[in-house]
Every structure is written in structure tokens, then in C-alpha cells.
Amino acid sequence: MHTVVVGTSGVTASDVLAVARDGARIELSGEALAALAAARGIVDALAAKPEPVYGVSTGFGALATRHISQELRAQLQRNIVRSHAAGMGPRVEREVVRALMFLRLKTVCSGHTGVRPEVAQTMADVLNAGITPVVHEYGSLGCSGDLAPLSHCALTLMGEGDAEGPDGVVRPAGELLAEHGIAPVELREKEGLALLNGTDGMLGMLVMALADLDMLYKSADITAALSLEALLGTDKVLAPELHAIRPHPGQGASAANMLAVLKGSELTGHHQDDAPRVQDAYSVRCAPQVAGAGRDTMAHARLVAERELASAVDNPVVLPDGRVESNGNFHGAPVAYVLDFLAIAVADLASIAERRTDRLLDKNRSHGLPPFLADDAGVDSGLMIAQYTQAALVSELKRLAVPASADSIPSSAMQEDHVSMGWSAARKLRTAVDNLTRVLAVELYAASRAVELREGLSPAPATQAAIAAVRKAGVEGPGPDRFLAPDLAAADEFVREGRLVSAVEAVTGPLL
């Protein structure tokens, strides 16, 4: 099994995906263990002094004015975990929790948190054992980080609360730790706070969304090319020299992908009426511009994610010169903004795909295709309601595009009076990515049927390969009305698993 080694300088997106989705094992580097020990020495020295230090010998948040005596500090650390583990609602996905825990471990191993090496090792042991704390949908305001979700994870380290075992069964965390020979941690000064104070949940979801969207934007270029072909559109608008004079990188990449997919097509540029189109509709002609803008938004989001993956997010932090300083690095605004930007781009990509689908089904705009791509229009309704479903998804995506990060609700007796809502931005982006997949699946379903209904002219080799692969996956082609939901579900799975991209790339080579 793949092993991810965690050091002091952060982790990569591929590390997050390996741990969260593929169950990769984790090891702590010697460098990390040394940094942990050194930072802990600083915390222990400060804890022995009579002067109060935030997070070490004081209360938290609005209660930071109280100095905590030595005999109460272990109880203080336990209590912050127990009291902050206040999430509600349904459980979040296993991959999200694993990313959340792994990214908190990343910051712990930076040597800036003051956590003992044995606590970090326990975090790694829990992940390696396949134990997943129960984390709930609601509870994070994205500042100070993802407090409630991280608290539920810390609770498991203490042997309290509930967790899911490697068999998928939820049981008391203490039982699961005992079965795997993992001793619960006894938290000391600052450790409870250090386990809770980060942007790890929203960052993990951002990393996974970017991975999913990388595949979906390629899928969108393919479905747009299929629709262009089915509508007898022109591929001249995809010429590199046209996109070079407006040099947005994403636009050029999207146009190049569509051109590669359409190479060798006999369907592009043909017209079946007496007034040939000078231009295709925007939803066809401007596909690279819209998808390209989303790709460039992703590039910015990826830059933010890379910076955050290299960060140590905690409050207070232990500095190499021995200071333990309060700061505001836990604020989730940088991550929250790009999560919201991506939700906007996703909604617009889905919207333009739905407009192409609607055009394929309208006999007045489809240039010779039967109404609703029906076998016997009137007797058959064809794909009429498949487009309704797609439209409903797009409408939902528009609601999900409303930014969470533009909102803030004060908390902690006005001490935490401006919050990022980054967790909420991440949760709605996950839903948006799921719905975009479904929207593209409907466009694929309609466009592949429409291409097959064009007789006498051959589609491009790449689109032929896509259609053959989707038919092999159990998505049926043209014919009389049938129960559509299973076909749409199969198309959704085909896109979601990346098989559409794989089928096309087998002909074109890697897409951009």
C-alpha cells in the first residue's frame, strides 16, 4: 500500500487524495518528530512559568482572561474537546473526515503547535487503522477554523464519542481504539486547542473538488464537442489563432480539447436548410470561453490550496525563537472565497450545457433532428423530461452559487465577530460538483443519441469511441420510449468514474 510520509513542510494535494480516498498509510518523518519534541519543550517551559500564556495556561476565546492553575489544565484540554464536539445533523463522508484528520496532522507535524510526538503518532495510528470519527454536517463557522468537526476527531483520540470502524460499523471510539491496540491520549497544555484550530475540513474538500473538477471540465469539453457535432455546428471557432488573440489559458485549453475531439468529423459545418448559419448559438460557439473561465478559476483555487497545504494553521503558534504568539491565521477567508468562486463556475458550466441539450431537443433549432429526439414524436416523448431533470439541477446549482463567504454571523460573545463560513462553502460545492456530473451526463445522453440519428455522415473517431463506450456501459441508444432513469443513472456513473474521458483519450491522447 502507498505510504505518505509527513514532514514539517506541509503535504501535497496528491497526498491528501491518497489518504482520504485510497486509504494510504501515514508515517511521521524523523524531522517531524524532532520538531514536535522541540516545540513541546517550549510549551512545557512556558507552562511552568507564573505568567499566563493563551492556550497554555488560560481559558479560550471570550474566556481567555482566566488564568488556569496547574492542577486544572488537563481537565481544561479535555473540556475544550468535549464542549466543542457539538456538531449536529447527518454524518459527513468518510473521505472528508480522513482529509480533515490528515490535514490537522500536517499542521501538528510542522512543529508550530506544541503538541507532543505521541499525540501526532496516535493521529496517524487512528487513520492507519481505518477508524473514522463521526463528524456532523453542522457546527463549523470556518473561524477559528473548523472547530466542531475537528473536535469530534479529537474526541476519538481521547477514546470518547463514536467512530466508524474499517468494517463501516459505527461503534464507541474507545472500543475501536482498544481493538487496534491504540491507547487513548491524555491531553496536556495547549494540545486540545491545537487539535481544533484549523481550516482542515474546508481545505480537504477544496482539494477533492479540484480533483473532481479537473476530470469534469474535460468531460464538459467532450460533451460540448458532441453537441456541436450533433447540431452540425462549425469547428472553425476552435482554431488556435482565434484563441491566441484572447490569451486566457483555460479558454485555449478548452478549445484545443474540443478541436482534438472533433478531428476527422464529417458532421461539422453542414447545414440542412436554405439559409446556412453564419454563426452557431452562443451555447455552442462560446463553449471554450465559458469552460475556460472556469478552468482559470480552478487555477487560482489550486494556487490557494497549495499555499494552504504548506501552511501551519493554529492559534497560538510556537515560533522557533521560543515565542508562543496569538494570531489570526485560522481565519478561513482565503479558502472560503475560492470555494465560492468554484461554485459559481460550476453553475455556469452546467447552465451552458443545459442550453445545448435544450437546443438538441427543439426541432426548430436542432437543424433536422426529430422533436425531443423521439422515435415517433407524439406517441413518444423522447428526452423531454430528461431535460426537465437537467433544468432542475441547473436551477439548484444557481442557488448553490450564492456565496457563503459573503455571510458572517458573530459568535463567542462577540470575540469571534467575523467568520468565514468556509465549511458551508465547501459543503455546498460538494453538492454542486455532484450535480454538475449529472448535468453533463444528460448532455452526453442527448448528444450521443442525436449524433446517432444523423445518418450518412460519420462522426469523429473520438466521439465514435465515446458513444461506443457509453453504449457498452448500458446506456441505450435511439429507439421508442423506455424507462429513462436507469439510462441516466448509468450515464451519470460513466461520467463520474472518468470513463468518458478515458474513452476519448484512448483516441486523442491526453486532453489538457
**Residues catalogued as catalytic:** 54
Beta strand residue intervals within 310-468, DSSP E = 317-318, 324-325
The greatest distance separating any two alpha carbons of the chain, rounded to the nearest whole angstrom, comes to 91
CB 228 within 8 A of CB 262: yes
C-beta of residue 439 within 8 angstroms of C-beta of residue 390: yes
User: 171 CB contacts (<8 Å, ≥6 apart)?
Assistant: 162, 163, 164, 165
Return the sign of the alpha-carbon dihedral for residues 202, 203, 208, 209: positive
User: Helices marked H in 231-285 — which ranges?
Assistant: 240-244, 249-262, 282-285
- Would strands 25-28 and 3-6 be described as parallel, antiparallel, or unpaired? parallel
DSSP state of 184: P
Distances (CA, A) of 183 to 28, 157, 177, 188, 331: 18, 9, 7, 15, 32
Report how far residue 213's alpha carbon sits from residue 425's, in angstroms, rounded to the nearest whole number: 16
* Side chain identity, residue 64: A
Asked whether the beta carbons of 61 and 193 are under 8 A apart, the reply is: no
**Which of 67, 86, 78 minimizes the C-alpha distance to 412?**
86
What cell was used for 152? 469530534
Distance CA 181, CA 169 (A): 18
DSSP letter assigned to residue 278:
S
Backbone angles phi, psi at 89, to 5 degrees: 90, -175
Contact 204, 127 (CB under 8 A): no
3-class DSSP assignment, residue 478: coil
Write the secondary structure of 61-125 as one string of H (helix), E (strand) and C (coil): HHHCCCECCHHHHHHHHHHHHHHHCCCEEEECCHHHHHHHHHHHHHHHCCCCCCCCHHHHHHHHH
Instruction: Sort residue 382 into left (φ over 0), alpha (ψ -120 to 50) or beta.
Output: left
Grid cell of 322 as nine digits = 521560543
